[in-house]
Amino acid sequence: MTQADTVRPSGDAVAQQAATTTYRGAMREAMREALNADPRVFLMGEDVGRYGGCFAVTLGLLEEFGEERIRDTPLSEAGFVGAGVGAALAGLRPIVEVMTVNFSLLALDQIVNNAATLRHMSGGQLGVPLVIRMTTGAGRQLGAQHSHSFEAWYAHVPGLRVLAPATVADARFMLQPALDDPDPVVIFEHGSLYNTRGTIADGPVDIRRAVMRRDGDDVTIVTYGGSLPKALSAADELAAGGVSAAVIDLRSLRPLDTEALAAAAARTHRVVVVDEGWRSVGLSGEIATQIAEDAFYDLDAPVARVCSAEVPMPYAKHLEDAALPNTARIVDAVHRLGG
């Protein structure tokens, strides 16, 4: 990690306080560790090498590992994602970076028709141990074409595992279990998180389980990825008004940890789902339905949803802010449930 990514305490504090790092620095360190540990691992994508990555996540890796392990590719998602599928079939452990989620649409055939189906279509003979990283989400004034949240699209597909690290620690420790998976894994990194800082506790991370980021008794807020800071902020505001809100970070979007969702509903009897994706035919609807199917009689109110407005994401800052889930809308949703 670069000096800009990591701040280490001095003196006696070193023995007591873990280093803090940025989300991007944690992801870079996870890739560095994987590249050092396994010669089968390599990284490829647009501008991941000499430029250091569009979001500076891979900065310095080319100089450390060379062009055989850190491969800049042509501007062809269909080509380099397909090459990643082939490399995985041949026994390697590729990490493919797709610059932003909207560009992944150019590789849907490779991801959905090939990577996700080959184990099934080969009768279990062929696995595709491929990790695809992509930046997702809005909030940075990148306009409608670069602000999508398509997590629900990929979470819809059998054969894929879909992860959404929301914290620095998860960014650091989710990659290795993803590489260990014998089937393809898609990792969504929300662009608003790259500059966030946090301490890194010891790994590993259980990518099969949701985690409670804040305990509470009156209502449960369920979210993932870039919406986690907003949910925690809403919980703080609610606590100031006497409402105790639990916050669950899903971590895995496929498969969902339905046991954790049902247990939360049984405990607090009210649930709000926060999803930056669109409300219509989205992930929030699937989460709400799972809770209704598994814990209907534990609920004291219908599951509420806070999602992005049903519009292409605006470029203008004030309109973008209005279109996205925010703390005030989450708090209002909780109060409308009677929480």
Tens-place pLDDT, residues 66-94: 999 999 999 999 999 999 999 999 999 99
**Cβ neighbours of residue 179 closer than 8 Å, sequence gap 6 or more:** 34, 38, 41, 93, 95, 129, 131, 185
Q: Exactly one of 97, 146, 148, 151 is catalytic; name it.
A: 146
Residue 10 pLDDT more than 80? no
- Dihedral of the CA atoms 212, 216, 219, 224 (nearest 10)? -20
pTM for the model stands at: 0.93
Residue 65's pLDDT is 98
Position 12 confidence tier, pLDDT thresholds 50, 70, 90: very low
Contact yes or no for 231/223 (Cβ under 8 A): yes
Residue 1 pLDDT more than 60? no
Residues 25 and 47 in one domain: yes
Residue 339 pLDDT more than 60? no
Domain C-terminal end among 174, 199, 224? 199
Q: Please check whether residue 231 lies inside any domain of the structure.
A: yes
Residues 109 and 251 in one domain: no
Taking residues 249-273, report their average pLDDT: 97
Q: Please check whether residue 320 lies inside any domain of the structure.
A: yes
Residues 13 and 117 in one domain: yes
Q: Are strands 245-249 and 211-214 parallel, antiparallel or unpaired?
A: antiparallel
- 127 to each of 4, 13, 42, 82, how far by Cα in Å? 39, 46, 18, 14
Q: Please check whether residue 303 lies inside any domain of the structure.
A: yes
Q: Exactly one of 29, 46, 77, 97 is catalytic; name it.
A: 77
Find the CATH number of the domain harbouring 263.
3.40.50.920
Q: Please check whether residue 311 lies inside any domain of the structure.
A: yes
The tokens of 303 are what? 């599951």
- Domain span holding position 102: 6-199
- Please give the sequence-ordered ranges of beta strands (E in DSSP) within 168-244, or none if there are none: 185-190, 197-199, 211-214, 219-223
Q: Please check whether residue 205 lies inside any domain of the structure.
A: no
Nearest to 80, CA basis, from 95, 69, 96:
96
Q: In what order do the strands lie in the sheet with 70-72?
A: 70-72, 41-45, 93-100, 131-136, 185-190, 161-163, 252-254
Residues 171 and 143 in one domain: yes
| DSSP state, residue 112 | I
Q: In what order do the strands lie in the sheet with 245-249?
A: 211-214, 245-249, 219-223, 271-278, 304-308
Residue 18's pLDDT is 53
Residue 5's pLDDT is 56
Contact yes or no for 276/149 (Cβ under 8 A): yes
- 259 to each of 66, 264, 315, how far by Cα in Å? 44, 9, 39
- 19 to each of 10, 182, 254, how far by Cα in Å? 10, 32, 31
Residues 73 and 188 in one domain: yes
The tokens of 114 are what? 């090939």
Residues 181 and 220 in one domain: no
Residues 82 and 224 in one domain: no
Residue 293 pLDDT more than 60? yes
Residues 231 and 146 in one domain: no
Domain C-terminal end among 173, 199, 225? 199
Count: domains in the chain: 2
Task: Read off the pLDDT of residues 194-237 as tens digits, 9 standing for 90 and up.
Answer: 999 998 877 788 999 999 999 999 999 999 999 999 999 999 99
The tokens of 28 are what? 């870079």
User: Is residue 335 annotated as part of the catalytic site, yes or no?
Assistant: no
The tokens of 236 are what? 């703080």
Residue 13's pLDDT is 43
Contact yes or no for 130/164 (Cβ under 8 A): no
User: Is residue 77 annotated as part of the catalytic site, yes or no?
Assistant: yes
Contact yes or no for 227/276 (Cβ under 8 A): yes
Distance CA(332)–CA(255), nearest Å, equals: 29
Crossing angle of helices 327-336 and 228-240, in 10° steps, is 60
The tokens of 65 are what? 């590992």
The tokens of 323 are what? 């279109």
| CA dihedral (114, 119, 125, 129) positive or negative | positive
Find the CATH number of the domain harbouring 194.
3.40.50.970
